[in-house]
């Protein structure tokens, strides 16, 4: 599929969906705090060692779930974050483009885009989600109300895997990434590790 590289931070145009649904498109999900608010929230997070890594199973975080009609969570994010997205009766995108803010690439095939959990499911598990109910883990894995789910270049998402910012950072937009990461950990009451906190502080320093 053709890859179009765009300038980092490019604004997206109006998002047009089938059934005459039109919303304002955005390169970012909702409720990302300012750098100052993120720094304040980072200071409140509990620093502790990870635990229960060996018992992680992706199936413990049920996704993708049906959100509305025939659309599941992945399809909702593709519609929300894409430009001129059209979908078929099964809610699968048939056309559109998707901007991946953390590497500055724009894709014209949904198959080239992963829906990334900014805080990976395995990272959440090790940071406290192992103690949650399955229902709460499902809510986390399908969270459309905060900056947990992003349309991202598939290879970039795969390179990230389940790493935290101490082990992996995107090629660009470090400030944005850190603000989103901190908000998710804060909102869901997840702990973080000392090296992770230092990495996030350094990323916020680029804002």
**pLDDT at position 135:** 98
Euclidean distance between CA atoms 77 and 85, whole angstroms: 11
pLDDT in tens, 66-124: 999 999 999 999 999 999 999 999 999 999 999 999 999 999 999 999 999 999 999 99
* Average pLDDT of the residues of the chain: 89
* Residue 94, number of CB atoms within 10 A of its CB: 11
pTM, 2 dp: 0.86
Q: For residue 113, give the DSSP letter.
A: E
C-alpha neighbours within 13 Å on the C-beta side of residue 186 = 20
**pLDDT at position 85:** 96
What value does the mean pLDDT take over residues 29-33?
96
**pLDDT at position 10:** 33
Query: Over 90: is that where the pLDDT of 57 sits?
Result: yes
CB environment 117-143: b (16+ within 10 A), e (fewer)? bbbbbbbbbbbbbbebeeeebbbbbbb
**pLDDT at position 28:** 74
Question: Crossing angle of helices 35-44/174-188, nearest 10°?
Answer: 40
Query: Over 50: is that where the pLDDT of 194 sits?
Result: yes
Euclidean distance between CA atoms 131 and 203, whole angstroms: 29
Give residue for tokens 């049906």: 66
Euclidean distance between CA atoms 26 and 90, whole angstroms: 24
Query: Over 50: is that where the pLDDT of 26 sits?
Result: no
């Amino acid at each position: 599929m053709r890859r179009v590289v765009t300038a980092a931070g490019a604004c997206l145009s109006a998002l047009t969906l089938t059934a005459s649904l039109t919303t304002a498109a955005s390169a970012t999900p909702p409720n990302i705090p300012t750098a100052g608010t993120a720094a304040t929230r980072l200071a409140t997070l509990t620093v502790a060692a990870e635990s229960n890594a060996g018992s992680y199973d992706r199936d413990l975080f049920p996704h993708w779930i049906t959100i509305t009609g025939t659309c599941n969570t992945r399809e909702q994010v593709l519609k929300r974050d894409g430009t001129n997205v059209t979908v078929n009766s099964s809610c699968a995108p048939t056309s559109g483009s998707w901007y991946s803010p953390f590497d500055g690439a724009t894709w014209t095939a949904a198959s080239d885009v992963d829906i990334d959990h900014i805080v990976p499911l395995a990272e959440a598990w090790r940071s406290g989600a192992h103690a949650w109910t399955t229902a709460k883990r499902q809510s986390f894995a399908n969270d459309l109300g905060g900056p947990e789910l992003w349309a991202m270049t598939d290879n970039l998402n795969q390179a990230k895997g389940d790493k935290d910012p101490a082990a992996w950072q995107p090629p660009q937009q470090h400030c944005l990434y850190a603000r989103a990461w901190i908000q998710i950990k804060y909102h869901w009451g997840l702990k973080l590790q000392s090296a992770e906190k230092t990495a996030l502080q350094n990323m916020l320093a680029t804002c």
